[in-house]
Structures are given as C-alpha cells and as structure tokens.
Amino acid sequence: MENILFKDNVAEIEAYFAGGGYKPLKKALGLKPADVIDEVKRSNLRGRGGAGFPAGLKWSFISKDAEGPRYLVCNADEGEPGTFKDRELIRKNPHALIEGMAIAAYAIGAGHGYIYIRGEFAAEAELLEKAIAAARAKGFIGKNILGSGFNFELFTHRGAGAYICGEETALLESLEGFKGQPRLKPPFPAIKGLFGCPTVINNVETLAAVPAIIEKGGDWYAAIGNGKSAGTKLFCVSGAVSKPGVYELPLGVTFRELLEKSCGGMKAGKRLKAVLPGGSSTPALTAEEALAVKLDYESLAAAGSMLGSGAVIVIDDSQCMVKLLQVLSRFYHHESCGQCTPCREGCGWIEKILNRFEEGRAGRNDIDTLYSVAEGMMGRTICPLADAMAMPVMSFVKKFRAEFEAHADGKTCAKAP
C-alpha cells in the first residue's frame, strides 16, 4: 500500500509541490467549512495522539455562534516513552502538517494556529519555522490565502520538556505562559480553550492526514484499515527487534506482521516476552497475546490494552519486568505535576516499593500493596497521568507475578519467560 504520511524527499516545499502538495488546501477553500468537517467525519480519522477521539467530531464541537477568536493548536509535545513518530513526520513531511492545519483552521474558523513542540526538538522546530516561512512566501499561510479571503497565521512555540504538557489543557496553560498543569474539565477546550476562546487541539499525525482525506475523499480513507479504526498508523517500534524504526501501516495489521515483515523479527538469540503496544503507559501483553492481536483501537481494547500513540515497545526474554517497571515508575514520578494527591503520592509510593524489590528489601505483601496503590489511582485525577502509571503496574503484576515473587523470596531476578 502507498504511504499517505511518509513520502520520500518532501521536506522542501518544491518537492511537496511536485507530489500535489497544497492542492487539497485549494480544494478545501472552495468548499463550505461544514463540508470540510463532514468529509473528515466520513473518513473516520481518529486522534493519533493516544485518545483516538474522532477528529471531525471534535472539530464540530466549535459552536457556529461562538463570538471572538478561535484557535487551532497542534500538539507536537511528543514525550511518551517509546514514541518518536511525530518527530520523524516533522522531519520528513512538515508541509503535510502545515497544510493540514490550514485546512483544519478554515473548517473551524480559526485565524491563528500554534504548533506546541517539545523543547528538546530544536532541529525540528527550526525545520518547521523554515517550512512555515516557505508556505507563507507562497501564499498558503497569512492573509487572503489563495485569494479566498481566509486569513490564517501559524506559529511554533517550544515547550520546556515537561511530559505533562502533552495533556491538552496543560499544554494550553504552558502556551499561555503559566505552569503546565491540567485544567478541570468541563469546560472543554472547544468551549473555553486557549486565552479563554474556542480551541481545537490535534496531534501532528492527525493533522498531517487531513490533506490526503480532502484530496481523495473521506470514503477512500475510511476504506483503509479495520472498520472504525480507519486509515494508516505510524508505528514506532523499539526493543530487541532486527529493524527498529517508524513504519506506516494500515490500522488492523497484526502485531506478528509488523514484527516479522516490517521489523525483520527478533534480534538473533532473543525471544519475545512481552509487548507494550501503545507506549509505556499502556497495559502489557504477553508474547502469546501479542502474537494473536491486531493493532487497532477495538482489537487492542478487547485484548485488555490500548493502541495509544502507536509506540510498540518489544520486550525480550533477557529483560526483568520488575526492573523495567522500576524505570517507568521513576519517569512517571518525576513527571507528575503534583496537582492531584493520588498521582503525586501514588507515583512516589510505587517507585519506593519497586526500589525495595530491586534492592532486595521487599516481601510478598509488597506485591499486593503495589497493585492496590495502582488500582486506587485509576480514574481519580484531573488528567490521565496517574492512569498512565497505574495501568502498566497492574498488568505487570497480573501477568508476571512470578518475577515479583522471585525478587521477594530469593532477593534475585528470575527473568521468567
């Protein structure tokens, strides 16, 4: 299947033109904004940042009667451990993101857009600035775009490397110059977002898919993939595989196909032990579960996990699940904004317990305590960071309890397959 997002040598605007770039924008500007939204709805495009919420439906939440300015924000704050697809997409196809944002802005009536990009992505931020300038020089960004009367200005804004700012309302707080902490919802951003105005926030991958949908139609895009999980997905694969990297494949592809055909199988001498199919915050699948699952929203939910950001972390049989969980707990404890007690205290408590396991000071009762703390965090905070810590903890304890027991009993690591 031809790639939709990853195309060769299109970082420069001339190469993007050669492949038909910015023609979808011209087509969109000839339609009514409501018709553009309907086309995206028909495509079944869902948010690629992790939540999987239908993009067209989100756009439609902006009230036609809303007074004052409206804003479009791109979430390029890619901080989920194991996730590196948006950075790669910005490097290889930045104009698809810019064109997608111009189309989305026209659809919702936004005059200004911001790309909130992770602070560490200095080279990517510079590349985007250059691409925006090139698009502005050609009349695709700015005043009276292509003579349509539509005005849209686009800016980049670099964050400071806080994982919490990947949560959309914490991102808005940071963009406004405040500490990046999630807001209570409701009101939702579509009602009261950036600077108190109606705002749509979408992920890089989501917005970059929009030009192809406008060009070829929502029905065409909806026919790719697996039912409600339509279109292609960027899967970023890390771990003990022969060819780690980012792969664009239709949603519904099996994990086995991704592993064996795209990634060349496991590294020599390594056996598959477990998989985190959607980033470090998603529940783990055993090797048997992973090899039987399809990579789409519904199939992974049925298997007890999540597609998330599409970060496929492959764990081999040489890895200790207790040690891996300790590393994850250190990350989430450090990145918690501290606003909610269950997250602030729970992440720290979990890290302390896992430190005891690794230091040979834990008992079997600590296993149940670990699970209980995680269970008590689920769904009890303003944002999902507590859940992001709790879900891997609960799945690791459920599916690899023998390793925790080995640490508690023998003060050693069993590394059970």
For residue 101, what are the CA distances in angstroms to 108, 126, 206, 334?
Answer: 11, 18, 10, 33
Q: Which residue type, as a one-letter code, is found at position 37?
A: I
Q: Does the structure show a pLDDT above 60 at 417?
A: no
**DSSP reduced 3-state for 315:** strand
Instruction: Write phi, then psi, for 225 (nearest 5 degrees).
Output: 100, -145
On the question of pLDDT at 82 being above 60, the answer is yes
For residue 241, give Cα distances in angstroms to 275, 373, 392: 12, 33, 21
What 3-state DSSP class applies to 214? helix
Mean pLDDT score of the chain: 95
Pairing of strands 272-276, 311-316: antiparallel
Model confidence band, residue 415 (pLDDT cutoffs 50, 70, 90)? low
Q: pTM score, two decimals? A: 0.95
For residues 278 and 308, the answer to whether their CB atoms sit within 8 Å is yes
Q: Which of 314, 316, 301 is nearest to 251 (CA)?
A: 301
Buried b (16+ CB within 10 A) or exposed e, 66-80: eeeebbbbbbbbbbb
At residue 1, the pLDDT reads: 67
- Tokens at residue 323, please? 């040690």
Count of other CB atoms within 10 angstroms of residue 336: 23
Question: Does residue 413 carry a pLDDT above 80?
Answer: no
- Whether 211 shows a pLDDT value over 60: the answer reads yes
Side chain identity at residue 229, one-letter code: S
Over residues 120-142, mean pLDDT: 96
pLDDT in tens, 297-353: 999 999 999 999 999 999 999 999 999 999 999 999 999 999 999 999 999 999 999
CA distance 271 to 266: 7
Smallest Cα–Cα separation from 79: which of 156, 158, 166?
166
